[in-house]
């Protein structure tokens, strides 16, 4: 039971108007209350209190601090002017305006402090953003496009089962069932990409990593492999760099060139005409210039040099599509090293 | 002559103040009981707002008592009198239900985001505008007074540059300070002050740097503007908290090209206004340079001599 210490027992007779609520009575009075063993339950639970509720002038009176506390609120007494302050009880949400690129959207609700929400399942938000939010029973929030993004024509590499896996890709505890995609959402320069179709490799602090690779049986069916390769925003400040090397039937076809964080994804286009087996090899160059090739062991530092984040380097191979042979677009006379090595556009 | 009474109850006439004349009252439980209560014009405030009550609260035996109707309306709880049980039942009406979970995009988790709150209120689900802005790769700004949210395009005053996620950090900004990697946007001991002029709104929308004690590596930061903004404005100068030995310079680059370089600024010099055309710029980099008393110049990423005192304030950095 809360004790209101230090309160003034003096008697004043004038009514005071305060906050639009004014009472006429001030001072000590004797009243006659009717007790009837009135019990108190809050949210179904019986609340034992020595401050038993009673009836007075047809009202049932209850001790506000007992109720407030039982409802999970904070109850505080202020002496002068006399006030009981109850905080955290009930929902006090106010609407707030939302502007999306200058366009006014349906209002959200906020408690003015840490809780802000915009309505989900709202057709105006969905048509303007092309995103549909959904919340699962665990409270996870998923944003998905209103329409599946148009993929480049061809066979997405992520839909093919590799014929062989090397390095970390071959580690079943890291990549169960040889699944190389969908562990996280790639984020490059703040732009998000669907993870389901991205081949993902990362190295955590202290990890003994083995540079990975994957082989695909193309059986001469395809002409070009296109895609994008990037160092993810998770490791945007990584001082080393990564590259992909493309090997067809044992012959180097090209590479992405060394790629760093804080840069746009590096596009690549590899001529795989007539290639039976394509191998994609990962390579890492650390800040000292030491290069680790596919299969080699790279011992990651125990702690990220930035002092706080965990992954040392995270990479995303996105939108990789094998384009079929088509006589109209066969490039004659370009030789066997037909790759584009776009320079990494760092800032 | 009838005793003078304040009219206090409808129970029993002939009641005397100070006299207990009830026979057969069981003080252990039921029946009428005279109470000495204290009225003090007590107000009840819930979440900062005074609520009206059908009858005035009073103090009895160190507790403040209110009629149960006040509880119902004021605390957003449902109150019912269960006559058969002689019970007051109070239940919080569960209007607001909050949840916290991961943020996903096309079903895969965004690992760097951390938890996101969702809530449902009166049957409608609500999601965080910060989460939506992340999914859209747009900055978001919430007006501290009106609480209006601006996603992408800022209010008429502009979108704070520091509200964009940093896509690359250099020098001291690339090493965690207080568990956080990225640009310093405010000073702990108050807003920026340059040549006696205080910039009261600078904290939270400025890019600030001072060499860290043990390792003063000149800082820089890059933001992705997606080519959507036309100008960058702000003020640059040396904070009054700085020493007088060094001079500081601000450099703005867009997609690798230098767009703006301030004059060398000294402590005590009024802040120089910054206005840079950033039309179509995607990657915008803000960095500093230091010129020590000896005339040696250090640029982004370089380590300044130990003991160099230099406090750079790029104040109110906004894009339009």
From chain A, the residues in CB contact with B50 under 8 A are: 18-21, 83
- Taking the CA of residue A203 and the nearest CA in chain B, the distance in Å comes to 14
Contact yes or no for A243/A343 (Cβ under 8 A): no
Look at residue B212 in the predicted model and tell me its pLDDT: 67
Residue of A31, A122, A316 to mutate when probing chain B, most B C-beta within 10 A = A31
Q: How confident is residue B179, by pLDDT bands cut at 50, 70 and 90?
A: confident
Instruction: Please compute the mean of the pLDDT values over residues B55-75 and round it to a whole number.
Output: 85
CB atoms within 10 A of CB B78: 13
Q: Which of A125, A131, A92, A130 is nearest to A106 (CA)?
A: A125
For residue range B194-204, list pLDDT tens digits in order.
999 999 999 99
Between residues A187 and A4, which one has the greater pLDDT?
A187
Nearest to A29 among B39, B131, B255 (CB): B39
Between residues A325 and A268, which one has the greater pLDDT?
A268
| DSSP secondary structure, B88-149, as one string | EEEEE---EEEEEE-EEETTEE-TTT--EEEEEETTEEEE-HHHHHHHHT--EEE-TTT--E
From chain B, the residues in CB contact with A309 under 8 A are: 176, 181
CB contact under 8 A, B127 and A21: no
- Taking the CA of residue A327 and the nearest CA in chain B, the distance in Å comes to 36
Contact yes or no for A211/A292 (Cβ under 8 A): yes
- Taking the CA of residue B110 and the nearest CA in chain A, the distance in Å comes to 5
Q: Give the pTM.
A: 0.75
Q: Which helix (H) or strand (E) holds B297?
A: strand B297-298
- Taking the CA of residue B99 and the nearest CA in chain A, the distance in Å comes to 5
**Cα A220 to the chain's mean position, in Å?**
40
Q: Which strands make up the sheet holding B116-121, listed edge to edge?
A: B96-101, B116-121, B124-127, A116-119, A103-110, A94-100, B149-151, B140-142
10 Å CB burial of residue A46 (0-12, 13-18, 19+) is exposed
Contact yes or no for A268/A283 (Cβ under 8 A): no
Q: How confident is residue A91, by pLDDT bands cut at 50, 70 and 90?
A: low
Look at residue A205 in the predicted model and tell me its pLDDT: 95
* ipTM value: 0.76
Contacts 24+ apart (CB under 8 A), B3-10: B6/A29, B8/A29, B8/A30, B8/A31, B8/A32, B8/A57, B9/A31, B9/A32, B9/A56, B9/A57, B10/A57, B10/A58
Backbone dihedral angles phi then psi of residue A192, each to the nearest 5 degrees: -95, 150
HSE-CB at B227 with a 13 A cutoff on CA atoms is 1
% of chain B with per-residue pLDDT over 90: 66
Look at residue B205 in the predicted model and tell me its pLDDT: 96
For A80-172, strand residue ranges (E) read: 83-87, 94-100, 103-110, 116-119, 131-135, 141-145, 155-156, 164-166
Tell me which CATH code domain B159-319 carries.
2.60.120.1060
Look at residue A347 in the predicted model and tell me its pLDDT: 39
- Taking the CA of residue B192 and the nearest CA in chain A, the distance in Å comes to 25
For residue range B121-145, list pLDDT tens digits in order.
888 999 999 999 999 999 999 999 8
What is the CA angle B165-B169-B170, rounded to 5? 160
Tell me: pLDDT of A260 over 60: yes
Residue of B61, B127, B253 to mutate when probing chain A, most A C-beta within 10 A = B127
From chain B, the residues in CB contact with A132 under 8 A are: none
CB contact under 8 A, A195 and B67: no
Nearest to A62 among B33, B61, B88 (CB): B88
Tell me: pLDDT of B187 over 90: yes
Look at residue A163 in the predicted model and tell me its pLDDT: 97
Instruction: Please compute the mean of the pLDDT values over residues B53-65 and round it to a whole number.
Output: 89
Q: Please state whether the peptide bond connecting residue A81 to the residue before it is cis, i.e. omega within 30 degrees of 0.
A: yes
Q: Which of A321, A314, A322, A323 is nearest to A197 (CA)?
A: A321
Q: How confident is residue A202, by pLDDT bands cut at 50, 70 and 90?
A: very high
Residue of A185, A308, A310 to mutate when probing chain B, most B C-beta within 10 A = A185
Question: Hey, CA dihedral for B50, B52, B53, B56, is it positive or negative?
Answer: positive
Contact yes or no for A96/B128 (Cβ under 8 A): no
CB contact under 8 A, A35 and B71: no
Contact yes or no for A30/B34 (Cβ under 8 A): yes
**Alpha-carbon distance A117 to B122, whole Å?**
13
Instruction: Please compute the mean of the pLDDT values over residues A234-261 and round it to a whole number.
Output: 98
Q: How confident is residue B14, by pLDDT bands cut at 50, 70 and 90?
A: very low
Collapsing DSSP to helix, strand or coil, B54 comes out as: coil
Contact yes or no for A268/A226 (Cβ under 8 A): yes
**Alpha-carbon distance A8 to A10, whole Å?**
6
CB contact under 8 A, B112 and A234: yes
Backbone dihedral angles phi then psi of residue B299, each to the nearest 5 degrees: -115, -175
Question: Hey, CA dihedral for A307, A309, A311, A316, is it positive or negative?
Answer: negative
Chain B residue closest in CA terms to A138:
B101
- Provide the residue ranges of all domains of chain B, joining segments of one domain with +: 44-92, 96-136, 159-319
From residue A82, how far is each of A27, A63, B51 by CA, in Å? 12, 16, 14
Look at residue A22 in the predicted model and tell me its pLDDT: 60
Q: How confident is residue A234, by pLDDT bands cut at 50, 70 and 90?
A: very high
**Structural domains of chain A ordered from first start:** 26-87 (no CATH), 94-145 (no CATH), 155-329 (2.60.120.1060)
Nearest to A4 among B48, B62, B152 (CB): B62
List, in order, residues 6 or more apart from A245 with CB less than 8 Å away: A252, A254, A255, A280, A281, A283, A294
């Amino acid at each position: 039971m809360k004790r209101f210490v230090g309160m003034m027992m003096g008697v004043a007779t004038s009514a005071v108007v305060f906050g639009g609520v004014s009472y006429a009575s001030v001072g000590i009075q004797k009243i006659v209350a009717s007790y009837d063993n009135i019990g108190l339950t809050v949210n179904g639970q019986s609340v034992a209190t020595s401050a038993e509720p009673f009836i007075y002038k047809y009202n049932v009176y209850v001790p506000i601090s007992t109720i407030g506390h039982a409802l999970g609120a904070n109850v505080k007494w202020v002496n002068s002017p006399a006030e009981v302050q109850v905080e955290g009880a009930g929902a006090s949400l106010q609407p707030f305006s939302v502007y999306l690129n200058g366009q006014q959207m349906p209002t959200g609700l906020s408690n003015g402090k840490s809780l802000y929400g915009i309505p989900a399942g709202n057709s105006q938000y969905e048509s303007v953003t092309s995103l549909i939010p959904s919340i699962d029973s665990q409270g996870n929030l998923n944003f998905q496009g209103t329409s599946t993004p148009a993929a480049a024509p061809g066979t997405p590499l992520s839909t093919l089962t590799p014929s062989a896996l090397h390095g970390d890709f071959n580690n079943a505890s890291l990549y169960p069932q040889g699944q190389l995609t969908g562990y996280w959402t790639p984020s490059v320069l703040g732009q998000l990409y669907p993870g389901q179709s991205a081949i993902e490799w990362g190295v955590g602090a202290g990890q003994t990593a083995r540079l990975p690779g994957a082989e695909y049986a193309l059986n001469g069916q395809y002409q070009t492999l296109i895609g994008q390769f990037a160092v993810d925003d998770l490791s945007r400040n990584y001082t080393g760099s990564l590259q992909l090397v493309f090997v067809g039937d044992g012959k180097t076809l090209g590479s992405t060139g060394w790629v760093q964080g804080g840069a746009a994804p590096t596009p690549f286009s590899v001529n795989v005409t007539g290639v039976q087996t394509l191998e994609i090899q990962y390579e890492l160059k650390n800040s000292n210039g030491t290069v680790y090739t596919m299969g080699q062991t790279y011992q990651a530092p125990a702690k990220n040099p930035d002092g706080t984040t965990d992954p040392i380097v995270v990479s995303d191979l996105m939108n990789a599509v094998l384009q079929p042979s088509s006589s109209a677009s066969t490039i004659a006379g370009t030789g066997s090293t037909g790759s584009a090595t776009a320079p990494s556009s760092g800032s | 002559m009838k005793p003078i009474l304040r009219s206090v109850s409808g129970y029993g006439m002939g009641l005397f103040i100070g006299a207990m004349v009830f026979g057969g009252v069981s003080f252990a439980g039921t029946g009428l009981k005279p109470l000495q209560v204290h009225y003090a014009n007590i107000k009840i405030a819930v979440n900062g707002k005074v609520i009206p009550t059908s009858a005035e609260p009073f103090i009895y035996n160190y507790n403040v008592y209110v009629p149960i109707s006040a509880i119902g309306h004021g605390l957003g709880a449902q109150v019912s009198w269960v006559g058969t049980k002689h019970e007051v039942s109070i239940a919080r009406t569960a209007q607001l239900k909050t949840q916290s979970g991961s943020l996903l995009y096309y079903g895969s988790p965004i690992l760097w985001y951390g938890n996101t709150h969702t809530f449902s209120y009166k049957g409608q689900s609500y999601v965080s505008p910060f989460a939506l802005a992340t999914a859209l790769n747009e900055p978001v700004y919430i007006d501290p007074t009106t609480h209006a949210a601006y996603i992408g395009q800022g209010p008429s005053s502009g979108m704070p540059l520091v509200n964009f996620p940093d896509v690359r950090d250099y020098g001291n900004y690339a090493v965690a300070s207080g568990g956080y990697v990225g640009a310093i946007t405010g000073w702990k001991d108050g807003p920026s002050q340059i040549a006696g002029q205080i910039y009261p709104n600078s904290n939270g929308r400025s890019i600030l740097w001072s060499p860290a004690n043990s390792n003063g590596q000149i800082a820089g930061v890059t933001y992705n503007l997606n080519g959507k903004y036309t100008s960058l404005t702000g003020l640059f100068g040396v904070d009054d908290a700085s020493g007088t030995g060094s001079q500081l310079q601000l450099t703005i680059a867009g997609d690798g090209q230098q767009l703006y370089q301030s004059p060398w600024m000294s402590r005590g010099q009024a802040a120089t206004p910054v206005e840079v055309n950033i039309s179509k710029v995607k990657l915008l980099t803000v960095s500093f340079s230091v010129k020590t008393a000896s005339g040696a110049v250090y640029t982004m990423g370089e380590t300044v001599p130990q003991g160099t005192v230099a406090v750079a304030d790029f104040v109110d950095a906004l894009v339009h």
